[in-house]
Chain A
Amino acid sequence: MTTRIAEIWVGLFVAAGIAALFMLAMQVSNLSTYNSDSGYDVTAYFEDISGLKVRSPVTMSGVRIGRVKSISFDKERLSALVTMEIEGEYDTLPDDSSASIYTAGLLGEKYIGLEPGAGSNDCEDITLDDSGEIKIEESTDKDCKPSTLQQGSEIKLTQDSLVLEKLIGQFISKFLDDDKKDTAK
């Protein structure tokens, strides 16, 4: 009888321990928001990425749709190459979307914000009609799809991270220039 109770308690103990580990893994860590298989990689070049880190969020309209996968320095272009992993379900981003590095809050972490472009697609036939007006028609070709970002595609339009020192430097130099102009008058 006593061994039976001991066995039940040990079973409960092990179950509770594993449940606690499971809770830590699912509720506390980033496991629930992280699945590495289903995404596709997109690259972008930035002149300045200071503050951006691997695993920083990639957002569109403020919703996280991916994470920064790797950051490296391209020694030929002399700029930073950022590879982002976008989750597989978001496969309709136009390929002329732009990427900017923003700061969350005043001192917060850096993240990449994507803004959708118009989407260069071949679904519209643009013609000039006789009166010289531009005419846009839906294409009759049913197979056409708006071109989207895919595995390995590059985001061409990028905007760099704002560095506080640079901003202050620009402000001061502008201020000094204004000052000089004033004295010249």
Chain B
Amino acid sequence: MISQIQSLGHKALGFFQRLGRGHILIADILKGQPALFLRPSLIIQQLYSVGVLSILIVVVSGFFVGMVMGLQGYNTLVDFGAEESLGVMVALTLVRELGPVVTALLFAGRAGSALTAEIGLMKATEQLSAMEMMAVDPIRRVLAPRFLAGFISMPLLAAMFSAVGVLGGYFVGVGLLGVDEGAYWSQMQASVDLYEDILNGVIKSIVFGFVVTWIAVFEGYDAIPTSEGVSRATTRTVVHSSLAILGLDFILTALMFN
């Protein structure tokens, strides 16, 4: 009985310790950001592996999500004779919700897990310790550029997702199902507000980018330096980021659109 309570307390303390380590790490990473502008090549490299390599999956998913929304929306709206509103439905859903959220989920799976695995493996093979021996701060040299790259990439990827999704909806709605082209765009333009919808969507994607990259970088840096530890950390990155994205999405939506 006593030992059970003890292990419970141990777990709780461990949880708070990890939480604290995570916040100290993010503070250190943010402190390391200004120094990065002296070495932009570091950021470019990371932008390539985090952002550019994620374009394909994001764009293809965006197109298919847009096409599915076009189909589903058409089938529902046509019952009410309101298929002209298809553009509004597709655009609002993508810009407000699906764009930031699905992109963030894909980003966590594609880029976040790669970041964790890379940093975790660096730790397991003692590259990080070697850097410290050479008086190079691994947080500034390894973590800070990766964090910044993820933070920059996410909003851009989300914007691509939404834009391509709108085109996907256009392709299905106007191209295949025969919704009037003018109505598709004009109703969309009449209902989607630049600040209310698009800017809030961008803010969402920025927040998700921050959180996903933070979790990925922290899990990698905090991984147990064995092959099993790295694999666990990678799994945790995907699970925790997905939960954080969906939970935060609810909070942000409640704050923005009520």
A interface residues with partner B (beta carbon < 8 Å): 3, 6-7, 9-10, 12-14, 16-18, 20-21, 23-25, 27-34, 55, 57
The residue from B52, B55, B156, B189 contacting A29, defined by CB atoms under 8 A apart? B189
Q: Please name 16 further chain A to chain B contacts, defined as beta carbons within 8 Å, in addition to the given A6-B52, A20-B163, sorted by A numbering.
A: A7-B44, A10-B51, A12-B52, A14-B51, A14-B152, A16-B160, A17-B156, A18-B156, A18-B159, A21-B202, A23-B163, A28-B198, A29-B193, A29-B197, A30-B189, A30-B194
Q: How far is the CB of B153 from chain A (nearest CB, A)?
A: 8
**Are A17 and B48 neighbours in the complex by a CB distance under 8 Å?**
no
CA distance A143 to B233 in the complex (A): 82
**Are B51 and A13 neighbours in the complex by a CB distance under 8 Å?**
yes
Report chain B residues within 8 Å CB of A6: 44-45, 48, 52
**Are B155 and A29 neighbours in the complex by a CB distance under 8 Å?**
no
CA distance A57 to B187 in the complex (A): 12
CA distance A28 to B52 in the complex (A): 25
* Number of A-B residue pairs with CB-CB distance less than 8 Å in the complex they form: 89
Report chain A residues within 8 Å CB of B163: 20-21, 23-24, 28
Contact size range, B: 20 to 34
**Are B189 and A24 neighbours in the complex by a CB distance under 8 Å?**
no
Report chain B residues within 8 Å CB of A17: 153, 155-157, 159-160
Interface of B is mostly: helix
Known: A13-B55, A28-B91. A20 touches B156 (CB 8 A): yes
Known: A3-B41, A24-B163, A29-B189. A10 touches B48 (CB 8 A): yes
**Are A16 and B192 neighbours in the complex by a CB distance under 8 Å?**
no
**Are B189 and A16 neighbours in the complex by a CB distance under 8 Å?**
no
Report chain B residues within 8 Å CB of A32: 189
CA distance A6 to B50 in the complex (A): 12
Known: A7-B44, A31-B194. A20 touches B55 (CB 8 A): no
Q: How far is the CB of A125 from chain B (nearest CB, A)?
A: 46
Q: Considering the complex, which residues of chain B in the window 183-211 have a beta carbon less than 8 Å from any beta carbon of chain A? A: 185, 188-194, 197-198, 202
Q: How far is the CB of A7 from chain B (nearest CB, A)?
A: 5
Q: Which residue of A lies closest to B191 (CB)?
A: A30
**Are A27 and B190 neighbours in the complex by a CB distance under 8 Å?**
no
Q: Is the CB of B148 closer than 8 A to any CB of chain A?
A: no
**Are B159 and A20 neighbours in the complex by a CB distance under 8 Å?**
yes
CA distance A23 to B156 in the complex (A): 12
Q: Which residue of A lies closest to B49 (CB)?
A: A6
Report chain B residues within 8 Å CB of A7: 44
Contact with A along B153-176 (1 / 0, CB 8 A): 101110110111010000000000
Q: Report 9 cross-chain contacts, Cβ distance below 8 Å, ordered by A residue.
A: A7-B44, A10-B48, A13-B51, A17-B153, A18-B156, A20-B163, A21-B155, A21-B159, A24-B95
